[in-house]
Structure 1
Amino acid sequence: MSYQRQADEYVKTESMINPCRFAAIEQIERLAFRPTPYWHSLYRCRHLGIHRPDDSMCNWTARILTKDKLYKQKCVGPALDLGHGVVDYRTALARSFEWFDSGSVRSLANEPKKLGRVKEVSFCPIGDIYTVGQALRDYSEWTRIFRSPGGHYNNLVLINYHLVPNFAHVPLEKFSAKHLRDLAQQVLETPPRFGFMERQGRVAIGALTADELRRRKCTFNSLVTILKMAFRHAWDNAAIHSERPWRCLKRIPVNHSPRTIFLDREECRRLLDACTPALKDLTLAALYTGCRVGELGNMIVDDVGRHGFGVRISAFKRSPARFVFLPDEGMAFFLSKCEGKSAQEYVLRSDMGKPWRRQHSQLFRRAVAKAGLPRQLVFHGLRHTYASDLIRSGVPIDVVAKQLGHASSTTVSNTYGHFAEQFREEQVRNRFSPLSEEQLGELERRKNELAKLWTTLQSDDWRDYARLNPARPIPRKTYAMPDRLVAEVFENEENANTWTKR
């Protein structure tokens, strides 16, 4: 099929899939100027857009998502006649498909897929035997009612990727610890899937890094939780008559690594300089409050400065409403964003004037790359930056926990406690009561030596100060009592990891 015919075929079915809001000249002329393109999704990983930064430029732009999760784009012709001709929608589609199918692009790009998110467990019951797949399907239909759309979708992705292929047809009454061990082995051998990547086959892994092993343990524990809830749901509904399927499900203890991707103030300024105007406001709001993007997106003018010197954060996901106190600089920022707005208007809006939902992701990734910051930094890292900055400045951990909306300080202590090392050092050095006159004399004799030692130990990277990396870390506390066979699977990999490093 020619590219022109391929484009024509797409146009015929487009109204049933995802209508393009700028296919006609009149629609394009109504688009406001902005530095980033307006995108229309043709397929997953394939987009066609309009780039109209000012009155001297308006071009059709094609875009693909590469295998390493980056975007690559190409201008395919002028969308308005500004002295260089004009290309209509069908021609732009044809040129886009031609570029998509070129050898240089196909080798880099992810495979295109039809639009649409997974909506159910990919399992069709066969026969009268109640299987693991049926239990997962029944449970997912139940969770659809009361879980958040995002949480329900994440469960479906995990179920379809890890559980359906090898365990869906197992009779639920026969599920045992042996199946759980097989699941543990599968999780270890299955590479993670990001975005719209194709499913990858299982591979023999010689030695995972400590962080990779931690992440796969977390994935295994998430799957165990899903299975346990599904099996308990089946038991409660009399679909099975034995408790063994859900009683054999045990989680694995995990040593949660402290957060390490944070920004210092100079890095924050570089990030802000790389943001679009609306994204800069959203980023500043996150750095002043430590709030999640969803919490900031829901904030209205009436939430600012009404209940105290700060902002009210509405209930979000499973977290209750809370109040976040602000520094003077932050309060001035939020008041400036509320000027001229009614009490029920959103404080922050996107560059297109819409409430912030999920459209920040690509803009933030682009800003991170432009600022030369670690690729792993996502918007949620600004919340970690906020917490780590307070802790390093000596703010008590329980105060930080209340600002973040945590029920206790344990999570904050385990996650961010290592960033208080320099503050802890300062407190110990300056507040220890004198103990020995003899050693005080020794202190005076070695004063220059101690000052030199302290200066030598200081590092520009505060993330690594007094940080230890044990070869085989032990969780601080765990209530997990894994099955012996399952524990052996992960322990063998930990041992291989340790010996490889030696």
Structure 2
Amino acid sequence: MTDYLEWSKLARSEGGHYNNLTLMNYHLVPDFSSIPIEAFCGKDLQRLAAKTLEQPPKRGFEATPSKIDPANLSADEVRRRKRTFNSLVTILRMVFRYAWENGHLTSERSWKCLNRVSVNHQPRTIFLTRSECKRLLAACSLPLRNLVMAALYSGCRVGELGDLRVADVGNGGFGVHIKPFKRSPARFVFLPEEGMAFFLEACAGKQKADHLFLSTKGLPWRRQHTLQFRTAVAKAGLPREFVFHGLRHTYASDLIQGGATLDAVARQLGHASTLTVMTTYGHLAAHVREAQVRRSFSALSKANQAAAGKQEERFAELRRAPLPETWDREGNFERTSSLPRTSLARPSKGVLETFASIPGRH
């Protein structure tokens, strides 16, 4: 594991390396680090699957939570546990690979048992209404409020906003230039007029090379927003599951609801294609779809056309009706199973039995 972490520190992003280190210390080190690597087998992997189901996630430096009965897990909780298990399997495969390359393994047997489980990836897409956005902003400290406001105006990730400099504002057009981040190339994000005013105001009194947004301690934003944001979410009375990345979802859903094309939204977010935008936000543009259907449908019945002409006031009333407070949740179909429609994973029988033992949740 030490060999792998040395590689991870050099090859992965700081956040990716930190996540690996956290997962290994929480799930692998206490119960599995003493196993001779060539003695590791399918039974150990099955034990890891059981532990992943029983052990709730740990956040930050909080005390290790007590184990729970997997039978009480919801389908979404099982899905998240499966994703954690798959991340651990990926780490173990890399660990075993380095053991093989460094001469600590004489056989591939222990490596061959490391297979992932099938899981239906349900995107966590909670979106805020404008009234909810205002409640959240009111609950934030000033530095965090500026960061949240910037995300709502641009749809940028927290890492992209943390790297933003004064020279990036208005550099190439009416918006901000975003540097390459993770696997995404550099892009230009256009802003609405009030957003442009906000970013220009944030530049006031700073040098071109200065970071645009700083934390409460005067440092560029990295991961230190997490606890502050979670506190603000609780104070604003928003869903506990809402995380900073949800501001990006909120931005995209607002654009789509306002009639923006999927291609425009994808380019603003930095996606290579519209596929992610279509699958994640396509069901939210209810009134946009209604307008498109109204414009595109060819006449079918003169009698019904005449009847429609007599209902103009009622039609206008229906179109003026506000969306329900939970409009963002509607159409976001939750699968009762964590299994995907198709699967290429080949987990062992023992691991399958462990996840399948949860009634109605496997």
Structure 2 partner of 1:485: 350
> Displacement, 1:220?
0.5
1:333 aligns with 2:217: no
Measured in 2, the distance between the counterparts of 1:420 and 1:236 equals 52
Asked if the contact 2:125/2:280 (under 8 Å) is kept, the reply is no
Closer, same or farther: CA 339–374 of 1 in aligned 2, 3 Å: same
> Displacement, 1:461?
1.9
Query: Which one of 64, 75, 78 corresponds to residue 199 of structure 1?
Result: 64
> Displacement, 1:310?
1.4
Higher RCO by CA contacts (8 Å cutoff, separation 6 or greater): 2
Matched residue SS, 1:312: strand
Structure 1 partner of 2:301: 437
TM-score between the two structures when normalised by the length of structure 1: 0.63
Structure 1: which amino acid aligns with 2:188? F
Matched residue SS, 1:288: helix
Structure 2 partner of 1:156: 21
Asked if the contact 2:42/2:113 (under 8 Å) is kept, the reply is yes
Closer, same or farther: CA 266–476 of 1 in aligned 2, 3 Å: farther
1:265 aligns with 2:130: yes
Structure 2 partner of 1:312: 177
1:407 aligns with 2:288: no
> Displacement, 1:227?
0.8
Measured in 2, the distance between the counterparts of 1:299 and 1:275 equals 20
> Displacement, 1:419?
2.3
> Displacement, 1:290?
1.1
Measured in 1, the distance between the counterparts of 2:46 and 2:303 equals 58
Measured in 2, the distance between the counterparts of 1:173 and 1:319 equals 39
Matched residue SS, 2:263: helix
Q: 1:242-253 residue pairs with structure 2 within 5 A?
A: 242-253=107-118
Q: Structure 1: 5+ residue runs without aligned partners?
A: 1-135
Measured in 1, the distance between the counterparts of 2:171 and 2:309 equals 58
Measured in 1, the distance between the counterparts of 2:13 and 2:209 equals 24
Measured in 2, the distance between the counterparts of 1:457 and 1:288 equals 22
Query: Which one of 145, 150, 166 corresponds to residue 301 of structure 1?
Result: 166
Structure 1: which amino acid aligns with 2:34? H
Measured in 1, the distance between the counterparts of 2:205 and 2:287 equals 44
Query: Which one of 36, 42, 53 corresponds to residue 177 of structure 1?
Result: 42
> Displacement, 1:352?
4.9
> Displacement, 1:160?
1.9
Asked if the contact 2:79/2:338 (under 8 Å) is kept, the reply is no
Q: 1:65-464 residue pairs with structure 2 within 5 A?
A: 136-200=1-65, 202-434=67-299, 436-437=300-301, 440=304, 459-464=324-329
> Displacement, 1:488?
3.3
Structure 2 partner of 1:22: none
> Displacement, 1:429?
4.7
Larger Rg: 1
Asked if the contact 1:259/1:415 (under 8 Å) is kept, the reply is no
Measured in 2, the distance between the counterparts of 1:411 and 1:483 equals 31
Q: Deviations over 1:436-466 (max 9, x none)?
A: 4388479759979x969x7899634212334
Matched residue SS, 1:323: strand
Structure 1: which amino acid aligns with 2:8? T
Size of the alignment, in residue pairs?
360
Structure 2: which amino acid aligns with 1:227? L
> Displacement, 1:382?
1.3
Asked if the contact 1:294/1:356 (under 8 Å) is kept, the reply is yes
Structure 1 vs Structure 2: percent identity of aligned residues? Answer: 53
422-431 or 165-174: bigger deviation: 422-431
Measured in 2, the distance between the counterparts of 1:263 and 1:487 equals 37
Matched residue SS, 1:463: coil
Alignment RMSD (CA, Å): 3.3
TM-score between the two structures when normalised by the length of structure 2: 0.85
Structure 2: which amino acid aligns with 1:373? L
Matched residue SS, 1:482: coil
Bigger helix share: 2
Closer, same or farther: CA 394–179 of 1 in aligned 2, 3 Å: farther
Measured in 1, the distance between the counterparts of 2:174 and 2:96 equals 48
Measured in 1, the distance between the counterparts of 2:236 and 2:163 equals 28
Asked if the contact 1:422/1:465 (under 8 Å) is kept, the reply is no
Q: Deviations over 1:122-179 (max 9, x none)?
A: xxxxxxxxxxxxxx22211222222233322221221122122332233323333333
Measured in 2, the distance between the counterparts of 1:228 and 1:238 equals 15
> Displacement, 1:359?
4.0
Bigger strand share: 1
Structure 1: which amino acid aligns with 2:135? R
> Displacement, 1:235?
2.0
Q: Structure 2: 5+ residue runs without aligned partners?
A: none
Structure 2 partner of 1:80: none
Measured in 2, the distance between the counterparts of 1:214 and 1:241 equals 35
Q: 1:35-50 residue pairs with structure 2 within 5 A?
A: none
Closer, same or farther: CA 457–293 of 1 in aligned 2, 3 Å: closer
Asked if the contact 1:368/1:375 (under 8 Å) is kept, the reply is yes
235-244 or 213-222: bigger deviation: 235-244
